[in-house]
Amino acid sequence: MTDSTVSRQENSPKRPNDSNGEFKRLLVPETSQPEEDELHESPPENQVLNVEEDREKTYDSVPPFSWAKLWKFTGPGFLMSIAFLDPGNIEGDLQAGAVAGYSLLWLLLWATLMGLLMQLLSARIGVATGRHLAEICRSEYPSWARILLWFMAEVALIGADIQEVIGSAIALQILTRGFLPIWVGVIITSFDCFLISYLEKCGMRKLEGLFAVLIATMALSFAWMFNETKPSVEELFIGIIIPKLGSKTIREAVGVVGCVITPHNVFLHSALVQSRKTDPKEINRVQEALNYYTIESSAALFVSFMINLFVTAVFAKGFYGTKQADSIGLVNAGHYLQEKYGGGVFPILYIWGIGLLAAGQSSTITGTYAGQFIMEGFLDLQMEQWLSAFITRSFAIVPTMFVAIMFNTSEGSLDVLNEWLNILQSMQIPFAVIPLLTMVSNEHIMGVFKIGPSLEKLAWTVAVFVMMINGYLLLDFFMAEVEGFLVGFLVFGGVVGYISFIIYLVSYRSSQSSSWSSLEMSERVVSTET
């Protein structure tokens, strides 16, 4: 039995010998422990919404469905869905459409469903424990593993933030007719950390209202482009329903699947659900919250799927089978659209720029928000929100500014950079997904809300599939880019360390399960003897 297991055993409440007491113990997640309550600080009152009309009332079963209650729970899922609509995803959509036409839409649908499963598990752990994933990792893993997980999460966040900020800067350059260089757009975009700090002080609903406007802007912009370009509805439905994958479209297919799970978003959703006050000790209330979050998150990802579909279909209609298909990217997409479809009362170039700006701004704000939770959760730092947002934003803005100045003059260089950033984020996926599945399947942490064997197998199957897809992307990329003995040796060493840490995380899950099974058995033996 490990030292950490012994520590949790000593701090856990004494378990009654009677069967009814044992049943009640299983119903109460770990957050009910007095020590955890002291360590865990609730969010400020203006960031927590009261969703109960009568908090004193108790239920013997899950309360009946209410549209008014669903509206109160609506918000966190839509903030989470922004990660499915960031500039990196938009670029993946347009490249998939230009290279593969409508043939990968079925994969986009299934990839979105896989992403939904992971996000629902993230919400589940947040509601059932009253803590978010980074906080739970801090209390469950040894210090060295916790610091390494934090570092990996920050690296993934920086990679995503560079893409998002660059995407916003490109949009600003489009909307100002090239007047603003990309590096100036980066500076302008960086000030969103102060906007999120202000909106947090105004209340959670104000922040959610901003994201509603940004998502609506994206939806309207890309829907307008869809209507203007008139893609084939018949081919679109065939692409959604009939799976089809050719040898020339494997890279784009890998890109579509690789974008569905973003590491920082897994941590973020478990924290966002804390904005609705739900007592983890009230089993029926927790189940009610999970039901509403399932509906809300599904609706949010349906909207994100439609937006991604609009982008893919527009570029499939305009550029599939053309000579521009292999060279189109985020930087030149607007100009290609303008050449293809011209101006008019509302030039498509500027509609594209507006949609891209909404995608970039919304994702940079959620990235800042995720960074706060990741840093505070893993490192147990308590500081002013504006300072936390500023530090989190600085981690990303400094390298982004360097990138913007170095790559400002070359479209090709920005496309290569984007490939490297996708690789960087893909490498971090196991370090968010494995802890999530480890914790959400742990009865000691989740109580009665521990996922069942069937769902656990499905979740691990999805996780392994996504990790294998990204592994293929990593192998393909490094085989093409890595040259020279020294570089190859360094990459090999890094790969060995990378795989070793993944093996540790998986084996840690197995050892913890064995430890708690032994603990349960020993207590039952003691109970029988007494």
Looking at residue 26, what is its pLDDT?
42
Are the CB atoms for 51 and 69 separated by under 8 Å? yes
Tokens at residue 375, please? 């840093």
The model carries a pTM of 0.83
Looking at mean pLDDT, say which of 33-37, 124-128, 185-189, 272-276 comes out highest.
124-128
Tokens at residue 347, please? 């030039």
For residues 479 and 225, the model is more confident at: 225
Are the CB atoms for 261 and 429 separated by under 8 Å? yes
Q: Where are the domains of the chain?
A: 67-429
Q: Which residues pair with 225 in a beta bridge?
A: none
Distance CA 264, CA 280 (A): 24
**Lowest-pLDDT range, 54-58, 252-256, 372-376, 435-439?**
54-58
Q: Cα 313–314–318 angle (5° rounding)?
A: 115
- Give the mean pLDDT of the chain: 80
- Average pLDDT of 145-170? 88
Q: Tell which residue, 391, 480, 377, 387, has the closest CA to residue 432.
A: 377
Does the pLDDT value for residue 134 go beyond 90? yes
Tokens at residue 181, please? 């260089």
CB neighbours (10 Å) of residue 383?
A: 13
Q: Tell which residue, 145, 102, 125, has the closest CA to residue 252.
A: 102
- Please state, in angstroms and as integers, the Cα–Cα distance from residue 468 to each residue in 38, 368, 472, 473, 496, following that order: 40, 29, 6, 9, 16
Distance CA 448, CA 441 (A): 10
Does the pLDDT value for residue 36 go beyond 50? no
Tokens at residue 501, please? 């840490």
For residues 231 and 51, the model is more confident at: 231
For 466-508, the DSSP string reads HHHHHHHHHHHHHHHH--SHHHHHHHHHHHHHHHHHHHHHHHH
Looking at residue 31, what is its pLDDT?
45
**Lowest-pLDDT range, 8-17, 71-80, 465-474, 494-503?**
8-17
CB neighbours (10 Å) of residue 451?
A: 18
For residues 409 and 295, the model is more confident at: 295
Looking at mean pLDDT, say which of 35-39, 124-128, 342-346, 427-431 comes out highest.
124-128
Distance CA 445, CA 136 (A): 9
Burial (CB count within 10 angstroms: exposed 0-12, middle 13-18, buried 19+), residue 104: buried
Does the pLDDT value for residue 468 go beyond 90? no
- Please state, in angstroms and as integers, the Cα–Cα distance from residue 279 to each residue in 271, 288, 514, 520, following that order: 15, 11, 29, 26
Looking at residue 290, what is its pLDDT?
94
3-state helix, strand, coil in the chain (%, to 5): 80, 0, 20
Q: Cα 433–439–441 angle (5° rounding)?
A: 100
Q: At what angle do helices 283-319 and 333-341 cross, to 10 degrees?
A: 50
Are the CB atoms for 306 and 226 separated by under 8 Å? no
Percent of the chain clearing pLDDT 70 (strictly above): 77
Q: Tell which residue, 125, 59, 122, 126, has the closest CA to residue 275.
A: 126
Residue in the block written with tokens 């012994």: 6
**Using only C-alpha atoms, what is the Rg of the chain?**
24
455 three-state secondary structure: helix
Q: Tell which residue, 478, 501, 502, has the closest CA to residue 490.
A: 478
Are the CB atoms for 305 and 93 separated by under 8 Å? no
Are the CB atoms for 91 and 310 separated by under 8 Å? no
Query: 292-305, pLDDT tens digit by residue?
Result: 999 999 999 999 99
- Average pLDDT of 440-466? 90
Classify domain 67-429 at the CATH topology level.
Answer: Hydantoin permease (1.10.4160)
Q: Tell which residue, 140, 145, 185, has the closest CA to residue 167.
A: 185
> Which residues make Cβ contacts (< 8 Å) with residue 497, sequence separation at least 6?
none
Does the pLDDT value for residue 504 go beyond 60? yes
- Please give the single-letter amino acid code of residue 69: K
